[in-house]
A = this chain, B = another copy of it.
Amino acid sequence: MFTEVKNMKVYEQIINQFKDMIAKGLLKKGDKLPSERELVSQLGVSRTGIREALSALQMIGLVESRHGEGNYIKDNLEDSLKDPFLLIFMLNGGKFHEILEFRKGIEIETAALAANKIQDDEIVILKDILHRLDNAECEEVKVKLDKELHYLIAKASKNILIINLLNVNSSLMDIFISEARGKILSKKENRECLLKQHKDIVDAISNHDSFNASKAMRRHLDFIEKYIYNMK
Considering only CB atoms, which chain B residue lies closest to A62 in the complex? B87
In the complex, A91 Cα to B73 Cα: how many Å?
Answer: 9
Let me know if A48 is at the binding interface, CB within 8 A: yes
In the complex, A11 Cα to B107 Cα: how many Å?
Answer: 34
Given contacts A101-B109, A109-B108, whether A81 and B91 have CB atoms under 8 Å apart is no
Let me know if A203 is at the binding interface, CB within 8 A: no
| Secondary structure type dominating chain A contacts | helix
Given contacts A52-B51, A53-B55, A91-B22, whether A102 and B106 have CB atoms under 8 Å apart is yes
A4 to chain B, nearest CB (A): 19
Let me know if A160 is at the binding interface, CB within 8 A: yes
User: Are B162 and A86 neighbours in the complex by a CB distance under 8 Å?
Assistant: no
Contact with B along A1-37 (1 / 0, CB 8 A): 0000000010110010011001100011100000000
Contact with B along A101-115 (1 / 0, CB 8 A): 110111111100100
Residues of B within 8 A of A98 (CB): 159-162
In the complex, A18 Cα to B91 Cα: how many Å?
Answer: 10
Contact of A88 among B62, B90, B157 (CB under 8 A): B62
Contact of A84 among B28, B29, B84, B157 (CB under 8 A): B84
Let me know if A44 is at the binding interface, CB within 8 A: no
Let me know if A77 is at the binding interface, CB within 8 A: yes
In the complex, A91 Cα to B102 Cα: how many Å?
Answer: 24
A228 to chain B, nearest CB (A): 16
User: Are A113 and B91 neighbours in the complex by a CB distance under 8 Å?
Assistant: no
User: Are B90 and A23 neighbours in the complex by a CB distance under 8 Å?
Assistant: yes
Let me know if A83 is at the binding interface, CB within 8 A: yes
Residues of B within 8 A of A211 (CB): none
Let me know if A56 is at the binding interface, CB within 8 A: yes
A residues near B (Cβ < 8 Å) are: 9, 11-12, 15, 18-19, 22-23, 27-29, 48, 51-53, 55-62, 73, 77, 80-81, 83-94, 98-99, 101-102, 104-110, 113, 157, 159-162, 164-165, 169
Nearest 8 interchain pairs by C-beta: A105-B109, A56-B59, A52-B55, A60-B84, A56-B56, A92-B160, A102-B161, A11-B55
